[in-house]
Structures are given as C-alpha cells and as structure tokens.
A = this chain, B = another copy of it.
Amino acid sequence: MEIKTNWWGWGDVRKTYDLTRRHDFWPHLRSRLNIPDQPILPPPSMEEINISASRLSQAVLEQLKNYLPAAKIDLSKETRLSHTYGKSYHDLIRIRRRIFPQAPDAVLFPGNEKELEKIVAWAAENEIALVPWGGGTSVVGGVEATVSENQKGLVALDLKRMNRVIKIDRESMLADCEAGIRGPKLEQELQKSGLTLSHYPESFEYSSLGGWVATRSAGQQSTKYGKIEEMVESIRLITPTGWIETPHVPAAANGPDLDQLMIGSEGILGVISRVRIRLKSIPEQRFYTALLFRSFQDGGAVVRKILQSGILPATIRLSDAEETDFIFSLVEEKTNRLANGFQKIGLKYLEKRGFFPQKRSFMILGLEGTAASIKADWQQIRKIARPYKPFNLGKSAARQWYDHRFENPYLRDILMNYDILVDTLETATEWENFWNLYEAGRKAILDSFEKLGIKGVVTVHLSHVYPAGTSLYFIILATPHVGEELNEWWEIKRMASDAIVSNGGTISHHHGIGLDHRPWLTRELGASGVGIMRNFKNALDPKGIMNPGKLLPDD
C-alpha cells in the first residue's frame, strides 16, 4: 500500500514528532527564541491555493498519449501542487505563505525506460522542460518547477513506478536497479539476499536511488561506506541526445570517469534511469555507543585521530556545545534511555567532572563488522580517546539517536506552526581549516541574526568524516519577523554561504546545488570549472530542456 505523503511538510501524513515525553524541549527553545504562545502559521489546505492552468496544448498531450498511458499523465491540481517544490525551509515557508508562482503543467509517471526515452524525445521536440523527480526531498531547490522563457511548458517526471530491483548478482555483490526505487524497498529486497547498500540519508524513507546519485548524497554511515558516488558501478542516463551507459567494471583506466560526470548532475544532463550499485554483506554485528567530551575541540581531535588511524566507524557524529544542549533537552523521559544514564550518575556529578552545559560535546559512535573487528576498533578508539577522558554514556544513549534518526524533519513541521525558521547548511573542509570554518560559519549566522534584529540559535555537528577532513552541518533555528520569513531566510543563507565559501568550505557536502547554491558555485569552481559543466550540458541537452535553472549559475 502506498504511503500518503504530506504535500506541505515531511513524510507520512499519519506521523509526527512526539514531544509529549520531552518536557525540557519547549522551555529550552523558548529560552533562546521569540516563540509565540500558540501556533500562528498553520499549514494550508489545497483549496486556498490557486495555480495557473496547464500550458500543455491538446495536440501536445495527444502526442504524448502515444507513448504513455493516459492514466499516467496527471494534470490534477493535487498532483501538480505536490510536485512544485522540494522539502527545504525555503519551499515549505512558501507553501505555508501560499506562494505558488508556477506549478508543473503536468506530472508524468513513466513505467519503464522505453516510456522514459519517448517522453524525453517528446519534450525535446516540443520544447518542454523536464524536471526529473525521485522522492522530491531536495532541500536546495533541486526539483522546483522553474521554466525559462523559451520553453513551452514544464513537466515533472516522477519515477516512482520505476522502482524495481532488476537483478541481484550475488557473486559480484551488485544489483541493477531502476532509479525510482526508494530506500526502504531497496534495502528490503537486498537484505532478502543477505546484502545491503547501507546508504541511509535522513530522507532515506522517501528519497530515491536516482535522486541520491543525481545529488551526490551522503548517508548517516558514509564514514565507513562512502558517499553514494563510491557505491555506483554503472549508470544509464537518458539524455535529449540519446542514452549513455557506463561500463560494467569495478575500475578502469579508460579516460575521464564518466560515472563521476553523471553523479551530481542534478538532472540537467538527462534522467538517470538505471544504476548498478555495489553492495556489502549485512554486518555480523553493530555496536553503537555515545560518549561525552568536555568540549567540541576535544571531540574533534578524537574524531580526526580515529579516522587518521585507519579506522572507519560506520557512524561518527559529534555535536558542538549548543547542539549537545538541544540533544539533552530532547531526551525522552519515559523510555529513560539517555535519561537513565544521567539519573544514575547525576548531572551534578557530570558538571563536577568538567562536563558543563554550553561546553560539553556529544558523540555517537557506531561500529559495524565482525565481532573481532569491532572489538579491535573499539579498543583502539578507547586508546585514542583516553587522554581526553570522555564520559561513556553507553549504548542506550546511542540507541535513542539511532531509533529516531529519520524523524527530525517531522519536528521542523511542528516548529513551523510557530513560524520558527528551521534551516540547515552543510559544508566540508580539510582538518587544518576545520576550526576556522566552524567559527566563521557560526559568526556569520549569528551576525545575520543581529543584523536582522531577530533571535536565533545555530548548532553544529560533524557527521561525515574523512582522514583529510570533515563535513560540518549547521542547523539554524530563528524567529524571523512575521511576514518577513523569506527575505530574512535569504539574508541568513547569503551571509552564511559567503562565509563558508570565503573560508575554504564547499558550498555543499551532500545536499547539492539546485537553485539555492548556484550563486556560490563560480567562486568555488572558478569560471573555467563552471564553463566545463556548461559545455557538458550544452552537448547533451542543446535545447536546455533538462531541469532548467538548476546547478549552473546564470551566465
């Protein structure tokens, strides 16, 4: 049975984030932000929103019906509305403010590559823009309905019917999959064969394999298993000038790596229709625990040393002081998991030991492998951490994170009822530049709050880690002036992004460029780097119908 998803917010309409057993959360949040007593920004109903009529002519639609069953050409308001935006704050605030300047003129649901090819040819012939659509969970405007003037319409190309695992090659531990398959179905089918991809982005339940590949996605276990770009053996890409399939080999010296040109192409070159993915055996054992450090600096040094010792934890996730306080405010009381640990030892005792609020730093550490490898790694990690004297909060504290690791976006929907701005920014840098970028990013965001005259908080964690450096994930919570959300969001985003790129960070570690990050891409890659991409785009999509306006900056 298909899950009914929420068009104005996150995920399954039947689910929410459960705050009932987290009594510390609202008081903590209210101490930092200007929050109204009651919700002031309710989600919209579809009736409140007007969208313009579909621009597709009857003739063009008739032509399309030669290639695609009429039932798979959806012109309904409901479907068009739910395919207008992704799932960023920028998207959701526009939905709540009922801002819908454009919607796709239709949503198409091809069932196979043949239909997909025909649709792309039809679109090219009729100068209709195509937005490839996987789970629609982009947080950078990657699937927004934006059409340029020289196009006669725009359709969203929803691949959800193309969701099969076509073949599992157990001997080579590979699987051929249609690009529209989403996380849960994919893992379910692989795990039946004792295999796993182990790619778990926060959007896992709703995002698709094709979307992961198109955006260079990273999962919560990427430190061990790599970003999606390391899991791809071969890609089939359907472009307006024909299709390309990369060789089926584990490695080669056959010129530039064409897979790596398609990975991260965000739909602007064509539609990823099929991916051959590299699998692993399901790990024999998993060991997740939580440690507390006296400072983010201490924890950061330990993370770096672990990675540089050659150990690859599945998960290593370190929160700065501000985020650690939020995590503590979200501890569930009833389950007594993290709470248990604290009740036992007492918060006062922790402070006596030097673990202070606004200073201490929370780490989730997850090891996966054989019993022997986990034992050896854990031994060495303890040795590395020992000089910093962390406090071991134990498995139950880690369990709480693990069990709720896909749920944060539901909390955002609750906060947005109170007109709280909730955004995230993610970057990466080399270790040598880590503290500089951390400070500069935080300062820029705090400065933006001050400039705007609003209250706000910024929390940071690192969660995708490398021997050479780390990702940095900023979460922004603020209370903008009512009605000024969009402008104020953009000002925060602009100041933060300027600071990130000026201080040696990438504009995105795993969310992608989409619409929102384009203004910084040239600064990061140089005009020549962007020129190479533009050239690539022009060669494969000379009419510019593929996901127009995304990834590439305006000339």
Contact = CB atoms under 8 A, between A and B. Distances in A.
Interface of A: 169, 171-174, 215-218, 227, 229, 233, 239, 241-258, 260-266, 278, 280-281, 304, 308-310, 369-370, 372-373, 376, 379-380, 428-433, 464, 466-471, 504-513, 517, 521, 524-526, 528-529, 531-533, 535-536, 539-540, 551
A247 B506 contact: yes
Contacts of A512: 253
Contacts of A241: 528
Nearest to A266: B255
A516 to B, nearest CB: 12
Contact of A261 (B174, B257, B265): B257
A216 B278 contact: no
Question: Which one of A245, A310, A428 has the greatest number of beta carbons of chain B within 10 Å?
Answer: A310
7 contacts: A172-B432, A217-B253, A233-B430, A254-B524, A256-B262, A257-B264, A370-B380
A512 B257 CA distance: 12
Listed from nearest, the 6 A-B pairs whose CB atoms lie closest are A260-B260, A216-B253, A250-B469, A250-B466, A252-B506, A172-B430
A249 B469 contact: yes
A531 B539 contact: yes
Contacts of A249: 428-430, 469, 504-506, 509
A506 B258 CA distance: 14
A466 B278 CA distance: 10
A539 B529 contact: no
Nearest to A239: B528
A173 B461 CA distance: 22
A369 B510 CA distance: 30
A428 B535 contact: no
Given A278-B467, A308-B281, A370-B380, A254 B173 contact: no
A204 B524 CA distance: 34
A171 B432 contact: yes
A504 to B, nearest CB: 7
Given A249-B506, A250-B469, A372-B376, A172 B431 contact: yes
B369 A533 contact: no
B257 A263 contact: yes
B308 A245 contact: no
Contacts of A252: 216, 428, 506-509
A7 to B, nearest CB: 26
Contact of A256 (B242, B261, B506): B261
Nearest to A215: B253
A251 B218 contact: yes
A466 B524 contact: no
A466 B262 CA distance: 22
A439 to B, nearest CB: 16
Contacts of A525: 246-247, 254-255, 258
A326 to B, nearest CB: 25
A251 B533 contact: no
Contacts of A218: 251, 253
A55 to B, nearest CB: 29
Contacts of A532: 244, 258, 261, 536, 539-540
